[in-house]
A = this chain, B = another copy of it.
């Protein structure tokens, strides 16, 4: 059943096996799966190891537990929203569109007050400001301004940001983005936006501002994006309990 010599941990192998059994309807929706004690006999591991696997699947939404009754298979997600955070490039890929960019401006500046605050910067620190038009299937989709502290990514040049900034950074540094705070609002296109996005002035714009944090909480970037509302909807999943 399980490969005890595999470098993959037992709990992970159990997770994959249970997910596969859900997919193939061996465990069906709204039905219980075997109890933790039964599973620990089947897989020949301790109950705590089974529990670790089941707990992870509960956190990911595949299963849910009811005290005294058992562990049940949750109903399948109807529509899969893009899970978590994605770059523009990844986002478009998931939507089945190809993406490209046009660099309008690449400068190093002292940060404006709101950026300085959002990036928790000291007085004399500088930031990159990268101003781009983002295309999806060769049509304008968004205009985007990205602010990144120079101290975090020293030596970045214009040629490095023609494609995905994340790709460049992942090649050259070991940063892991952990989470982000997003602010989403609706506005009306001004003349500059209208021209850059090839829409009429006064058309609707979906404005998304994101502040990304690394694992240790260091603010890494502020991205201000203005999307064409006729082409873009923002989809996400949120959890309560």
Q: Taking beta carbons and an 8 Å cutoff, which residues of A are in contact with B?
A: 29-30, 48, 59, 61, 64, 72, 74-79, 81, 84-85, 117-118, 120, 176-188, 202-207, 211, 213, 215-219, 227, 229, 232-241
Contacts and interface: CB of A to CB of B under 8 A. Distances in A.
Contacts of A29: 217
Nearest to A210: B238
Given A29-B217, A76-B217, A177-B241, 16 more contacts: A64-B216, A74-B216, A74-B217, A75-B217, A77-B217, A78-B117, A78-B118, A85-B240, A179-B240, A180-B237, A182-B238, A183-B234, A183-B235, A185-B232, A187-B229, A188-B202
Copies in the complex: 2
A212 B118 CA distance: 32
A61 to B, nearest CB: 7
Given A30-B216, A64-B216, A179 B233 contact: no
